[in-house]
Structure 1
Amino acid sequence: MTNISNSPWVENFHITSLLVNPLGRLGLYGLLNLLQETAWIHAEKMGFGLLDMEKQGLFWVLTRQSLQMKTWPRFGENIQIQTWLRAPEGAFVAREFAILNQSGEEIGLCSTSWLALDRQSKKILPADNLRPWDQIAHARSTGINPEKIPVTGTYEKIAKYRVRNSDLDINQHVNNTKYAQWILDAIPYDLHKSLKLNTYSVNFLAETHLGDEVEVHRNCSSPDVQLASHGASAYKGLRVGDEKVLFTAVLGWEKRK
């Protein structure tokens, strides 16, 4: 472990053309990648990184994530992402984030929930014994509690994807950010132009691998986003081969002004 500190870790990013969506703003997919990058760097500095965990025969699994955004940065602007760890609750370790604009105003908050698993047995390990949490846990809470997203009601298929090489992460699983991209790609472009995303919550329920066919389904009870001024739409990802639910997600939105 190269560093032990309970202070938030800070990364600064410039919003380049590689990060913006067609509306000229940092979008959900781009932001999730920046959050992932910030967490990755912090984990490496704290001795929680991929190689450190491999040496111990362990690996991290992201189980839930919830994001709340007030505004989305524009192309050319700068943002700061702060991240910190909270003391574990049972087997779960919470990593939280704050997103600040170039004026230092807090424009977003995010909370994620993680489990440590044994590489061989895939058994969940007690988080209390992993690290000296009294030395590295930060007291601040975002107040966001990533909750279980139920799969209830009637769903309709809106898209189908096959997992490609570019969807995989270093662990040979589909990168968690890709699920958000699949949902966004399944939403008609006209709606992206008329809606502003405020919240995103996701539960990761099963691993997805190269060659898998995945269907994205939308909950039919979700409000008609073309007519309502605001609301939330629920989604699930289904593997075609065994009909296993891979993820559930809820997007909260409002009409653009």
Structure 2
Amino acid sequence: MFSFHHAQEMTAMEKTQHSLWTEKFHITSLLVNPLGRLGLYGALNLLQETAWMHAEKLGFGMSDMDKDGMFWVLTRQSLRMKTWPRFGENISVQTWLRPPEGAFVAREFALLDSQNNEIGLCTTSWLALDRRTKKILPSQQLRDWSALTQSRATGLIAEKIPVTGEYEKLAKYRVRNSDLDINQHVNNTKYAQWILDAIPYELHKALRLKSYSVNFLAETHLGDEVQVDRSCSSTSVEIASEGSTAYRGVRLSDGKVLFTALLEWEKHS
């Protein structure tokens, strides 16, 4: 059983105080896209950093999990943005855990501008795996979650994105050293970057990304060759139009579908 060393040292009051975690970020030139705003890839990295810091504080971050031969995997994510902050602006990212459902642990996020106005929401679903056997660990066996969760919900649902249907090839990538995370898997943010790189730049200039949802279906490792496909049955997204488009990533060596994603676009206001 996972011992959660640091978490057990915290009092009940400390656990409750840390059930909501906030990280503040300045939108630097390293985070903006060619349009001068925080882009999807940058936003996902800020969410990941906030989740990492909160988990470390609660005692079940990477270092504590590693001590017990376990690790977290992100299974689903759904992000919806009202507005994308510009270069030079300051934002805050709040995160909290919701009561687990079965083996799944839900983590929610709210993105706020410098005036504490909500500019985006995100929900994620996580599983704890045994590092040796890769078996899923039931959340109720990990710890008592009651003092660490909040009933507050974003209202977003990380739904299942269908794999079936007709797709057309967009691009092909080989997993490089810089794509890997600390667990030697492709970092979850890289899948979004692959999709964005496969989309024509004219579309990025003409449309604003409204939402991004992704299902992670299998691990991807160094050297894997991954093809990014676009669904032929998705709502048509042409230049100066709007709608949603489904994507998937397929490992060419065995045809395994690694992820499915859905991006929703709208005209610039």
Do the two structures share a fold, i.e. TM-score over 0.5?
yes
- Measured in 1, the distance between the counterparts of 2:73 and 2:236 equals 34
Question: Within 5 A, what are the aligned runs for 1:70-219?
Answer: 70-219=82-231
- Measured in 2, the distance between the counterparts of 1:246 and 1:152 equals 13
Superposed structure 1 runs of 4+ greater than 4 Å apart: none
- Measured in 2, the distance between the counterparts of 1:119 and 1:211 equals 21
Q: Name the aligned partner's letter for residue 72 of structure 2.
A: W
Give per-residue Cα distances to partners, 1:98-155, cap 9 Å, x unaligned.
0001111001000000001111111111101212211111110111111111112210
The total of aligned residue pairs comes to 257
1:41 counterpart residue number: 53
1:241 aligns with 2:253: yes
Query: Aligned to 2:79, which of 67, 87, 91?
Result: 67
Percent same amino acid among aligned pairs? 73
State whether residues 19 and 97 of structure 2, in contact with CA within 8 Å, keep that contact through their aligned partners in structure 1: no
Runs of 5+ consecutive residues of structure 2 not aligned to the other structure: 1-5
Q: Name the aligned partner's letter for residue 177 of structure 1.
A: T
Classify the secondary structure of the residue corresponding to 1:235.
strand
RMSD after superposition: 1.1
2:33 counterpart residue number: 21
State whether residues 19 and 147 of structure 2, in contact with CA within 8 Å, keep that contact through their aligned partners in structure 1: no
Normalization by structure 2: what TM-score?
0.93
Deviation at 1:256, TM superposition (A): 1.3
State whether residues 78 and 211 of structure 2, in contact with CA within 8 Å, keep that contact through their aligned partners in structure 1: yes
Normalization by structure 1: what TM-score?
0.97
Give per-residue Cα distances to partners, 1:65-99, cap 9 Å, x unaligned.
00010000000000000000111001100000000
1:57 counterpart residue number: 69
